Amino acid sequence: MTMTIAQTRTPALAAAYLAAAVAVVIWGATPAATKFAVQHFDPFIAAILRTIVAAIIISPILLFGRFPLPRTRADWVLLGLASFGGFIGFTLFFSYGVQQTSASHAALINAGIPIFTGIFGACAERRIPGRLWFAGVGLAVIGEVILISLRGGGSGDVTLRGDLLCVASSACSGMCYVAGARLSARIGALNVTLWAIFFAGITLLPFLLWAGMDFNWSGVGQEGWMAMSYLVVFSTVTGFIVWYWALAKGGPVRMGTVQFAMPVVSLALAVWLFGDKLTMPLLASTAIIIAGIAIARRG
């Protein structure tokens, strides 16, 4: 008996959803891991170290594999934007931001990354999104404003400066996604990710050598190294590879819906690990942000 097309697609689609869920859980835990890391590392060192070590890990893959590089000047610009936005700008702004705000605020602000992705995407394509997109973005922005206005919705260390730094990290991530997506159409998503990490690591290495001379490496505890290992192995390398595999197998439309679980995972970990309080304004802003992003995706 031969299997129908639908039957053969079901296991592959299930695997894609599973991979997407794994990536979402990995990235959902990233704010908590970053919070632990900046408690032991200087935020600058925490930000650049995760990218540099990740670049070292993937170097053998790039050396022995066949991963094409961009060929045109425009494509190199896109790779540069993806590299800077995702693995330099995001990590720096987010590390400093998480140090100065609660893990729950950082996680929920990053839930608004699709807003910046849509804005940068519209600018790159020189088009005006539909009314539904504007309505969804407007609703999500209202949720973000409510969240940032809250000073008591975390573990007591919420600051406006920290929240705004997390907003900046979201903007960098959105730029990375748009530039990476446009370049992925020509050389592949995995290639873009690996080369973006590699070039970001090379760029940041001199800064680590400079900053690391005065840093007390022996004072970093086991918890700090475990958090950094998670950020390197899972958040920076495994999460992206698994996510792009899921996109290739299941499609961005289907897999995009799985991302709605990310702020829920992050918020649950913030409450469990750092004692962040689930106040009604915090829950309300969470619901508004997720609803706004869901509406914007339909637009």
Q: What are the percentages of helix, strand and coil residues in the chain, rounded to 5? A: 85, 0, 15
The stretch 201-211 carries a mean pLDDT of 94
Average pLDDT of every residue of the chain: 85
- Name the burial class of residue 39, with classes exposed (0-12), middle (13-18) and buried (19+) by CB atoms within 10 angstroms of its CB: middle
The stretch 177-188 carries a mean pLDDT of 86
The stretch 199-211 carries a mean pLDDT of 94
- Counting DSSP H helices and E strands in the chain, the numbers are 15, 0
Summarize pLDDT for 61-98 with one digit per residue, the tens: 998 888 999 999 999 999 999 999 999 999 999 999 99
The band of 154, judged by pLDDT with boundaries at 50, 70 and 90, is: very low
Contact yes or no for 200/58 (Cβ under 8 A): no
User: What's the farthest any 2 CA atoms get from each other in the chain?
Assistant: 69
